[in-house]
A and B are shown apart, each in its own frame.
Chain A
Amino acid sequence: MIENKRQELAVEPNTAPKTNGLTRGVRHANWFSRYVRYRHFYLFISPFFLLFAVFGLFPLLFSFCLSFVNWNGLTAMRWVGLQNFRLMLGDEMLGTALWNTLIIGLLYIPPMLVMAFLLAQLLNAKWLQLKAFWRAAVFLPCVTPMVVISIVFSLIFSSEKGILNYVLSVIHILPVPWLTSEQWSKTSIAILVIWRWTGYNMILMTAGLQGIPVETYEAAAIDGANSFQRMMNVTVPLMMPTFRFCILLSLLGTMYMFDEIFVLTNGGGPGTSSLNVGMYLFDLAFQDFKFGYASCVAYTIAAVVLIVTLAVNRLNRSQEKEFVS
C-alpha cells in the first residue's frame, strides 16, 4: 500500500524539491491538486470528520471557553477569567468527590481484577465444557439495562425489605444499612460495580491469555514447573500489559462512573458519601446549571486523567522493552 502511494507521489509532475521557500506556492497548488484528484476518497471519509467536528471538537473547544465564564445556559455569559479555577481550589465538595472516587476505586478494582483473572483462567481451561455459555453468563451483567439493575439491586440492598439482609439474618448477622449509612454506601456501589464489570474484564483477560504462546507453557512444563508455578512465572508476567490496561480502564471508569451511583444511592447519598467526580460534574452542569464552573472542573480533571494515563502508558512501554531485552 505504502509503496504504491510513494510511487504515485514520485510520478507527480510538479513534485518540488524539499525546503525551498520559493516553491512554497507551487507546493500548495500541488497539495490542492492532490485533494482535487482524490476528492472522492476525502468525501468518503468526510462523514466521520464532519460529525466529529460538530459533536466532538466543537463541544470540546466550547467547554474550554466556558471554563472562563459564568453561564447558566439562559442568561448572557459573563467573563470571569480564572475565577472558576480559584473557586475550584477551595471547593470542599470536589475534594469529597475525589476522595470518594479514590475509595470506591480501591474497594472494587483489586477484587474485580483478581476475580476476572481467575474466571478468565477457569473459562480458558481445556477441560471445561460449554465455554461459550459460561463466558456469556459472566459477561451478561455488563449488557443488562441499568433500569433493570437498579430495580433489582435496590431490592437486594434495601435495609428493611432487602434480600441481602434477609440472608444475613438467617445466618444470624445483624442487618447492614447498605444504602442508608455513609459507611456502607461506597461498599454497596463497589459490590454493584464488581458484579457488573467483572465479566467485561474477564473477556479482556481471556484475550490476553489467548495471546500467550503455547510454547512458553510447554517449555515451562518441560522444565518441571507445576501448574501454580506456570501461572505465577509465565502467565502473570506475560499478562502484565493486559492488567495495566484493565486497571487504567477501571480507573477511568471510576472517575466518570455515573449510572451506578445515580440509580443506587440517589446520586451520591447519603449526604455526599458516594458522590464521585462524574456525578458531581453532572450535578454542577445539569442540576445547578453552572456550565462555566462545571467545564472548568471537567477540564482540570481531564488534564489530571491524561497525565496519569500517559504515565501508565510510559510505564507499560518501558517495562515491555525491559521484558523483550
Chain B
Amino acid sequence: MAGHVTVWSWNIAAESLNSIRPRFEAHDPKVHVIVDMTGAQMQMRLMLSIVAGVGAPDVSQLQNTDAPYYIATGRLTDLTSVAGKYRAEFPAAVWNSCVLNGHVYAVPWDIGPCAIYYKRSIFRRYGIDPNQIDTWDRYISAGSEILAKSGGRTKMLPMGSNDLSTLFGILLQQSGGQIFDGQGRIAIDSPQSLEALDVLRKMRMAGITSDVPTYSQEWMAGLTDDSVATYPGAAWLSGMIKDSVTAGKDGNADWGVFRLPAIEPGGLRVANVGGSVLVIPAQCRNKPAAWAFIEYALCSREGQLAQYRGSGIFPALLPALHDPSMDVSDPFFDGQMVSNLFTTDITKITPLNKTATWTEANGYLNEALSHWAATGMTKEDIFKPLAQTMSRRLMVDLAPGVSNVSGAAVK
C-alpha cells in the first residue's frame, strides 16, 4: 500500500487527526496523509465536488446527522466488506447513521454522550447535593430551590426557545421515542414525545430556565457569571466551557459534572448529541490507503485513545471508550473522573433512526417547539399537527400507531 491520502476535516477534529498522522505513518510508512482544515465552507465544497465527480478528498469528515443525506446520494464508497466486521465495536446509536440497506458507508468517529455541567460554587452556596439529582423532577426542584435562595438571580439552565430541539432530542432518547420509525415513517406523534415535552414544560413553568439563544453572547455570559447554574450538554461542550471559563492557578475552575437525570426513577441517564463520521467519496483513487487511515484512526484502540488524550475527542469505538486509561481525573472539574460518568450505559441508548431528510425534519420539529414555547408552552399536544406537516412536506407516510416506534436501524 502506498500513496497520498487527503483528508477534509475541521476544527479540533482536524487537529486531532493531524496529531495521529506520525503514528499512522510509522505504521504504514508508504502512505502519506495530508489533513486539510477546510473550515466553514467545507459542506458546500464537499457537496459540489461530489456532484462534479472531481475534487473531493480521499477521506472526509461528516456530521453524524448529515451522513444519511450523503449516503443516500450513492456517491460514497461502500465499506461493508472492510468495515462490516466492526459493527459490534460501536454503539448502535452512532452506527445507525452509517448504514443504508444493510451496507456500511461511513465509520463513526466520536460520540457526544451528555451529562450536566454545574458550578460547584453555586451548589455549595445553596446547599444542593448534585448526587441527589437522579430524575428531572429532582433537577427541577433543585432548580427552584436555587432560584428562590438566590432571590431569582440564578436560573438552573439556559433554554432558548428558538433552539429547543437539542434538549428535546436528549429527552426523546431517554423516553425511547423516535422521529422516524424503522421504516423511515413519521413516528413523532407518540406518548414518548409527550413525555419528553412534559419535562420541558415543567422546567419552563418552574421558572428555572433562562430564555437565551444557544451559544449567543448572553449564553456565553452565563458561563462566567452567576445567572445560570448548570449546562446540560454533550462531552464536547467541555471544550467550549474550558475556553470561556478561567480556571485557578491549579487548573481548577470549580466546575463539576453529574449524570443526566432520568425521566422516571431508575430510567436511562445518558443520551447522545452530535458526533462525526469519516467517509470515502466514491471518486477516491486510492481506496485501500484511505481505508487504512480510517481503520487506524477510528477502528483501532491506539488511534482513538491517542485522539482522546490529545484533543479530548470522545471515541465512538467501545474498546477504546472502556479502556481503563480513559478515566483520568480532570483538574478543571476539581479532579473529578469524568469520562466514565459520561459513558456509563452509552450502549443502552435507543438509537434515533436517521434518514436522508433528517435535517429538514429536525427543522420542522424546531419550528413547532419554538411556536409552542412562544405561546407559553400551554398546548398539551403539538405532535399530531407536526406529524401531519412532516408527512406532507417530506412525502413520507405516518407510522401506523406507536407500537413499532422503537424499531431497528433504517433498512
Mark A residues whose CB is within 8 Å of B. Answer: 72-75, 93, 151, 154-155, 158-161, 177, 179-182, 185, 265-266, 268-273, 283, 287-289
Contact = CB atoms under 8 A, between A and B. Distances in A.
A161 B73 contact: no
Contacts of B357: 288
30 contacts: A72-B73, A73-B47, A73-B51, A74-B73, A74-B75, A75-B72, A93-B393, A154-B216, A154-B217, A154-B218, A158-B218, A161-B212, A177-B374, A180-B373, A182-B375, A266-B163, A266-B213, A269-B162, A269-B370, A269-B374, A270-B161, A270-B373, A270-B374, A271-B367, A271-B370, A271-B372, A271-B374, A272-B371, A287-B363, A289-B69
Contacts of A181: 374
A289 B367 CA distance: 18
Enumerate the 4 nearest inter-chain pairs by beta-carbon distance, A residue then B residue, closest first. Answer: A271-B371, A270-B374, A74-B73, A270-B370
Given A75-B73, A158-B218, A159-B211, A180 B161 contact: yes
A181 B211 CA distance: 11
Contacts of B162: 179-180, 265-266, 269-270
A154 B68 CA distance: 34
Nearest to A271: B371
A207 to B, nearest CB: 38
Contacts of B218: 154-155, 158, 160-161
Contact of B217 (A75, A151, A283): A151
Nearest to B370: A270
A151 B367 CA distance: 22
B121 interface: no
Contact of B371 (A154, A182, A283, A287): A182
Contacts of A151: 217
A318 to B, nearest CB: 44
B359 interface: yes
Contacts of A288: 357, 359-360, 363
Contacts of A272: 367, 371
Contacts of B74: 75
A103 to B, nearest CB: 16
Contacts of B161: 180, 269-270
Given A73-B47, A160-B212, A288-B359, 19 more contacts: A154-B216, A160-B218, A161-B221, A180-B161, A180-B211, A180-B374, A182-B371, A182-B375, A266-B162, A268-B367, A269-B161, A269-B162, A270-B371, A271-B367, A271-B368, A271-B370, A272-B367, A273-B374, A288-B360
A283 B363 contact: yes
A173 to B, nearest CB: 19
Chain B interface mostly: helix
A180 to B, nearest CB: 5
B210 interface: yes
Contacts of A158: 212, 218
Given A181-B374, A182-B375, A271-B367, A287 B359 contact: yes
Interface of B: 47, 50-51, 69-70, 72-75, 161-163, 210-213, 216-218, 221, 227, 357, 359-360, 363, 367-368, 370-375, 393
B367 A287 contact: no
Contacts of A160: 210-212, 218
A287 B358 CA distance: 11
Chain A CB within 10 Å, residue with most, of B163, B212, B227: B212
Nearest to B214: A266
Contacts of A185: 374
Nearest to B158: A160
Contacts of B370: 269-271
B54 to A, nearest CB: 15
A266 B373 CA distance: 15
Contacts of A72: 73
B375 to A, nearest CB: 7
Give the residue among B69, B73, B217, B370 with the most A Cβ atoms within 10 A: B370
A177 B211 CA distance: 10
Nearest to A158: B218
Nearest to A289: B69
A288 B367 CA distance: 14
A168 to B, nearest CB: 16
B65 to A, nearest CB: 13
Contacts of B373: 180, 270
Nearest to B376: A181
B248 to A, nearest CB: 27
A74 B50 contact: yes
A157 B370 CA distance: 17
B46 to A, nearest CB: 11
Given A73-B51, A265-B162, A266-B163, A287 B360 contact: yes
A24 B164 CA distance: 71
A155 B72 CA distance: 41
A154 B216 CA distance: 8
Nearest to A159: B211
A272 B370 CA distance: 9
